[in-house]
Amino acid sequence: MQTILITGCSSGFGLETARLFLDRGWTVVATMRTPREDVLPPSEKLRVLPLDVTDPESIRAAVEAAGPVDVLVNNAGVGLASIVEGTSMETVRDVFETNLFGLIDLTQAVLPQFRERGSGVVVNVSSTTTLKPLPMLAVYTASKAAVNKFTESLALELEPQGIRVRLVLPGMAPGTSFGQNARAQMEGPGVTVPEAYADFAQGVFGGMAEAAAGPVTEARDVAEAIWRAATDPAAPVRLPAGADAVALAAAG
């Protein structure tokens, strides 16, 4: 029986991935900053653990509590739509702490057991914003572009150890709380829209709304891509997830 550890399972991609792997008979360790067992169906194969990927002690405790796992899915992330000039460096660092540094820290914590067994899979969830430059996503895209290169280099580093590393690239997912939170942060601490950019920002958000009316990524698309990454040794290192993501990857 195989076990998967997934971060960021309270909603969106992580929640749907946990559901899919449970449906297909896997043991699932679903982690969340604030654990909520009610969001997932009761199952003997489910464990819900607290995990804050920006807290090294939380990472160590979660990995110890999880025990042996076969697949690690680094899905936890924060979105940010912002004008760079109006973004505090504290906010920039917070984005990188969750999207990149926490991912690396958790990966380091799990790798020893994979290496000792000579098997295991690491799946990192990034974004197709890294495939095409977009305004007001500079900080977020920078954090995810770093994840891409980290993943691709790590795949080469770990292949001789018998460990697979894959990258899932979701497209635009306006229906998830992740996408909603990205815009909400425009009104949060550490983020402002300087007056000189006000009309520009309105135009960008209008464009985002138009894009959301076309082909977009559903949480199930991402869960299926993660399933393939975890179970298919022949899967490519990069897997776009969602109709818009597939189209953008093909165009690139």
Domain residue spans in the chain?
3-251
The mean of the pLDDT values for the chain is: 92
Catalytic annotation present for 140: yes
Mean pLDDT of 113-141: 96
Out of 82, 126, 127, 143, which one is annotated catalytic?
Answer: 126
Strand order, beta sheet including 46-50: 46-50, 27-32, 3-6, 71-74, 121-125, 164-170, 238-241
* pTM exceeding 0.85: yes
Catalytic annotation present for 197: no
Apex 63 CA angle, 58 and 65, nearest 5: 95
Q: Give the pLDDT confidence score for residue 252 in this predicted structure.
A: 64
Model confidence at 12: pLDDT above 80: yes
Model confidence at 109: pLDDT above 70: yes
Out of 58, 82, 127, 140, which one is annotated catalytic?
Answer: 140
Catalytic annotation present for 45: no
Instruction: Residues 3-251: name the CATH superfamily.
Output: NAD(P)-binding Rossmann-like Domain (3.40.50.720)
Out of 58, 127, 143, 144, which one is annotated catalytic?
Answer: 144
Picking from 17-21, 52-56, 169-173, 218-222, which range would have the lowest pLDDT averaged per residue? 169-173
Q: Retrieve residue 112's tokens.
A: 């020893």
